[in-house]
Chain A
Amino acid sequence: MTSSPLTRTPEGAARNAVEVRMEGLSRHYGAVVALDRLDLTLQPGELVALLGPSGCGKTTTLRLLAGLEDADTGHITVGGKDITRLSAAKRDMGMVFQAYSLFPHMTVRQNVAFGLRLRRVGAAQRDKRALEMLDLVGLSTQADRYPHQISGGQQQRVALARALAIEPQVLLLDEPLSALDAKVRAQLRDEIRRIQLEVGITTLFVTHDQEEALAIADRVGVMREGRIEQLAPPTEVYSRPATSFVAEFVGLSNRLTGEVRGGEVTVRGRTLPLVESNVPDGQVVALVRPEAVTLASHTAPEPGPLVGTVIAVTFLGATSRVTVDLGDITILAQLSTSDAAALPAGSRVALTIRPDPVLVSADAASAGPAAEEEA
Chain B
Amino acid sequence: MAVATTTETGARPSWSGRRPSIPAWTGTVPFLAYVVVFLLWPTGIVVVDSLKHPNGNWALSNITELGNPLVRGYFIGSFKLCLLSSALGAVLGAILAYAVASGNPDGVVRRLYLASSGVLAQFGGVTLAFAFLVLIGPVGLLFHASWYFEFPWGIGLIYTYFEIPLMVLVFLPAIDGLKVQWREASENLGASAWQYWRYVGAPLLAPAFLGGALLLFANALSAFATIQAWENQIAYTVPQQISTALSSEVGLSNVNVADLLALGMVIMVAIVMTGYALLQRRAARWLR
A positions within 8 Å CB-CB of B:
66-68, 87-95, 97, 99-105, 114-115, 117-119, 148, 159, 162-163, 166
Q: Chain B, interface size: which category?
A: 10 to 19
Provide the residues of chain A in CB contact with B204, threshold 8 Å: 103-105
Jot down 27 A-B pairs with beta carbons below 8 A, ordered by A: A66-B188, A68-B184, A87-B187, A88-B188, A89-B187, A89-B188, A91-B188, A94-B188, A95-B188, A97-B184, A100-B181, A101-B182, A101-B184, A101-B185, A103-B182, A103-B186, A104-B204, A105-B200, A105-B203, A114-B189, A114-B199, A115-B190, A118-B189, A118-B190, A118-B191, A163-B189, A166-B189
A92: chain B residues at CB < 8 Å are 190
Shortest CB–CB separation between residue B178 and chain A, in angstroms? 10
Tell me the minimal C-beta distance from A291 to chain B in angstroms.
37
Chain A CB within 8 A of B286 CB: yes
- In the complex the two chains form, is A105's CB within 8 Å of B286's CB? yes
User: B281 at interface (Cβ–Cβ under 8 A)?
Assistant: no
Given A89-B192, A118-B195, does the pair A101, B181 have CB atoms closer than 8 Å? yes
Q: Which residue of the partner chain A has the closest CB to B196?
A: A89
Minimal beta-carbon separation of B204 from chain A (angstroms)? 6
Asked if B190 contacts A104 (CB within 8 A), the reply is no
Alpha-carbon gap, A163 to B181, bound state (A) = 14
User: Whole-angstrom distance between the alpha carbons of A248 and B195 in the complex?
Assistant: 47
**Is B19's beta carbon under 8 Å from chain A?**
no
For the complex, give the distance between the alpha carbons of A99 and B286 in Å.
Answer: 14
Question: Is the contact region of chain B dominated by helix, strand, or loop, or is it mixed?
Answer: helix
B179 near A: Cβ within 8 Å?
A: yes
* Interchain CA distance A95-B179 in the complex, whole Å: 16
> For A93, what are the chain B residues with a Cβ–Cβ distance below 8 Å?
188
B285 contacts which of A87, A115, A148 (Cβ < 8 Å)? A148
Which residues 207-262 of B sit at the A interface, judged by CB distance below 8 A? none
**Which B residue sits closest to A98, measured CB to CB?**
B181
CA distance A66 to B187 in the complex (A): 10
The residue in chain A whose Cβ has the minimal distance to the Cβ of B195 is A118
Nearest A residue (CB) for B204? A105
Q: In chain B, what residue has the closest Cβ to A162?
A: B189
**A99 and B181 contacting across the interface, CB-CB below 8 Å:** yes
In the assembled complex, the Cα of A68 lies from the Cα of B181 at a distance in Å of 11
| Residues of chain A with a CB closer than 8 A to B181's CB | 97, 99-101
Contact residues in B for A104 (Cβ distance below 8 Å)? 204, 285-286
Tell me the minimal C-beta distance from A150 to chain B in angstroms.
Answer: 15
| B286/A114 in contact, CB under 8 A | no
Candidate in A95, A97, A105, A115 with the most chain B CB atoms within 10 angstroms = A105
Chain A residues in 8 Å Cβ range of B179? 100-101
